[in-house]
Amino acid sequence: QVQLKESGPGLVQPSQTLSLTCTVSGFSLTSNSVHWVRQPPGKGLEWVGAIWSGGSTDYNSALKSRLSISRDTSKSQVFLKMNSLQTEDTAIYFCTRVPGYPPFDYWGQGVMVTVSS
Amino acid sequence: DIQMTQSPASLSASLGETVTIECRASEDIYNGLAWYQQKPGKSPQLLIYNANSLHTGVPSRFSGSGSGTQYSLKINSLQSEDVASYFCQQYYDYPWTFGGGTKLELK
List, for residues A26-61, the tens digit of each pLDDT value. Answer: 999 999 999 999 999 999 999 999 999 999 999 999
Angle CA(A41)–CA(A47)–CA(A51) in degrees, nearest 5?
130
The separation between the first and the last C-alpha atoms of chain B, rounded to the nearest angstrom, is 36
Mutation for B interface: A45, A64, A67, A92, most B CBs within 10 A? A45
pLDDT-above-70 percentage for chain B: 100
List, for residues B41-62, the tens digit of each pLDDT value. Answer: 999 999 999 999 999 999 999 9
- pLDDT exceeds cutoff 90 at B63: yes
Q: What is the structure's pLDDT at B102? A: 98
| Å between B42 CA and nearest CA of chain A | 7
Band of pLDDT at residue B31, cut at 50, 70 and 90? very high
Q: Please compute the mean of the pLDDT values over residues A65-72 and round it to a whole number.
A: 97
Q: Which residues of A1-110 form beta strands (DSSP E)? A: 3-7, 11-12, 18-25, 33-39, 46-51, 57-59, 67-72, 77-82, 91-98, 106-107
Q: What is the structure's pLDDT at A100? A: 81
Band of pLDDT at residue B73, cut at 50, 70 and 90? very high
List, for residues A69-117, the tens digit of each pLDDT value. Answer: 999 999 999 999 999 999 999 999 999 999 988 899 999 999 999 999 9
Q: What is the structure's pLDDT at B11? A: 96
- pLDDT exceeds cutoff 90 at B101: yes
List, for residues B12-29, the tens digit of each pLDDT value. Answer: 999 999 999 999 999 999
Q: Which residue in chain B has the smallest CA separation from A110? A: B43
Alpha-carbon gap, residue A57 to B71, rounded angstroms: 29
Alpha-carbon gap, residue A98 to A53, rounded angstroms: 10
Mutation for A interface: B30, B43, B93, most A CBs within 10 A? B43
